[in-house]
Amino acid sequence: MGMREDKKTRVAVLGAGIIGTTIAYELQKRGKSVVLIDRNEPGRGASFGNMASIAVTEFLPSSRPSILSQIPKWVFDPEGPVSIRPAYLPRMAFWLVRFLKAARPKTMEALSAAGAALCHRALTDLQSMLDGIDNRDALSSEGCISLYGSKAELDNDNDHISTLERYGFDYRILSAKDVKDLEPAITDHIHCGLLFPDNKSVSDPYLLVQKFLAAFLANGGEVLKGEVTGFRKTDDQIRFIQLADGRTVAVDEAVLSAGAYTGRLSKLLGEPIPLETERGYHTQIMKPNISLRHSIIWPARAFMVTPTAGGIRVGGTVEMAGLDAAPDYRRSKITVRHAKEALPELTVEDATEWMGHRPALPDTVPIISPSAKVKNLFYATGHGHLGVTYSATTAQLIADMMTNIPIGMDMTPYRVDRF
Ligand SMILES: Cc1cc2nc3c(=O)[nH]c(=O)nc-3n(C[C@H](O)[C@H](O)[C@H](O)COP(=O)(O)OP(=O)(O)OC[C@H]3O[C@@H](n4cnc5c(N)ncnc54)[C@H](O)[C@@H]3O)c2cc1C
């Protein structure tokens, strides 16, 4: 495949999850000629089965004290929400050290500010991109309810709540009765709840990718199925993308957005990033015997339930076991057991289980950045638990960078070379 003869800049976006697809759509719209490359069907990675939440209140670093203090207990509890496969532990030592470094109070505040800056605009950016593809009804009208089984659980979430206050995110305190009035399916045995009205959810995260993909194609974008295995560079610029089957794609610019696999590709370019995968599971239940209008999170049990994809989705948990180990679906069954404590009438009929790879950086802040080593390369990765939430904002920011539009926020915290 040779260089195109028209004058448009030819951009290859590598990875067609929600991040790559929204970027490809936005760049095409802004006049670039874009080829979106994925080894699978678009949207089949982490973006397929996530919990569909535009979780604008969940930007706090994963290593914050209230989580960190519980990790040892969680890891040694086979039913706990975090599991680390012992054989994998040595391989993630470098990442773990950085994860712990991110827990220093001053760093924590800076990281929270970086997450909050994205979350402040996430919903507006997504809404306006959805308007652009005429898909306004993709977002729920209701928010998310956070559940607390006891006063101690509420107290333990205090760092989260006070951070939300500090950064001006909306929440309302709910008594147990308020919770029940809003969602009758929730158990009587809770202490209280919080309502996050701006935590909307999307009707189906996989369809979300498909909608942006369809709009991208309708605007003249191109999708190429192929596994990226290498790059040909001259003068510190990528000239060709190499695919596993021997094809090469000539490019003027490239965006690396291959989710949890981005680290493998960036290494080939001499730019390693400390990207791990936090594997997560869902159970999609099409006959749940209950109905919900809000999504639900229970911080102390670290699971979530969302009305999505035509049914109810139960998910969460973090499993550290790398990119290649087979799924362990006991993790999804444990999550469903926890969910039943919140939703006693929940039944699991007509259900499917799924595992996906969250692209996780040790400081929880995504990389939205030009490469520090390759002149015509940009990175959009490491969105962790918030890839859907941050998708539209990431697409706008990357497109602004690549079309030289001034960005009204400090992009230093999202740089690829910050580690
Ligand atoms: C259980 C679970 C629940 C979650 N819940 C939420 C939620 O409620 N809200 C939220 O905002 N986020 C949530 N997330 C996180 C979110 O799903 C991810 O952050 C997001 O999907 C990442 O998108 P991505 O496009 O970077 O990666 P992906 O969707 O994984 O896409 C990466 C793509 O790159 C392709 N690729 C990789 N390597 C190559 C290669 N060498 N050549 C070609 N193609 C390649 C893959 O095939 C894949 O299609 C959740 C994740 C999980 C697992």
CA of 151 to the centre of ligand 1 (A): 35
Whole-angstrom distance, CA of residue 180 vs CA of residue 192: 10
Residue 37 has pLDDT above 90, yes or no: yes
**What are the pLDDT digits (tens) for 5-15?**
457 899 999 99
Q: 194 and 295 in one domain?
A: yes
Whole-angstrom distance, CA of residue 355 vs CA of residue 337: 17
Residue 4 has pLDDT above 80, yes or no: no
pLDDT band for 76, please (50, 70, 90 cuts): confident
**CATH assignment at residue 113:** 3.30.9.10
Amino acid at 140: S
Q: Mean pLDDT across the stretch 231-245?
A: 97
Within-domain flag for 332: yes
| Residue 244, ligand 1, Cβ within 6 A | no
Q: Which residues pair with 305 in a beta bridge?
A: 296, 314
CA of 14 to the centre of ligand 1 (A): 13
Within-domain flag for 1: no
Q: 247 and 101 in one domain?
A: no
Q: Which of 338, 360, 382 is the last residue of a domain?
A: 360
> Beta 10-14 vs 33-38: how paired, if at all?
parallel
Is the pTM higher than 0.95? The answer reads yes
- Which structural domain range is residue 251 located in? 10-46+207-273+364-414
**What are the pLDDT digits (tens) for 281-337?**
999 999 999 999 999 999 988 899 999 999 999 998 899 999 999 999 999 999 999
| Residue 261, ligand 1, Cβ within 6 A | yes
Segment among 5-19, 245-259, 345-359 with least mean pLDDT: 5-19
CA of 45 to the centre of ligand 1 (A): 5
CA of 152 to the centre of ligand 1 (A): 34
- Which segments of 282-386 does DSSP mark as H helices, in order? 330-342
DSSP-assigned letter for residue 202: B
Residue 235 has pLDDT above 60, yes or no: yes
Domain count, the chain: 2
**What are the pLDDT digits (tens) for 173-198?**
999 999 999 999 999 999 999 999 99
| Residue 331, ligand 1, Cβ within 6 A | no
